[in-house]
Amino acid sequence: MTAEFAVALPAIALVLAAALASVHAVALQVRLADAAADAARALGRGETVEVAAGIAGRHVGGASLAVAEDGEFVCATLSASPGGVLAAIALRAESCAMRGGL
* Domain map (residue ranges) of the chain: 2-98
Q: What pTM did the predictor assign?
A: 0.83
pLDDT at 101: 61
Question: Angle at Cα 37 formed by Cα 32 and Cα 38, nearest 5°?
Answer: 100
* pLDDT tens column, 56-102: 999 998 899 999 998 899 999 999 998 888 888 999 999 999 998 65
* pLDDT tens column, 3-38: 888 888 999 999 999 899 999 999 999 999 999 999
Beta strand residue intervals within 19-98, DSSP E = 64-70, 73-80, 91-98
pLDDT at 70: 86
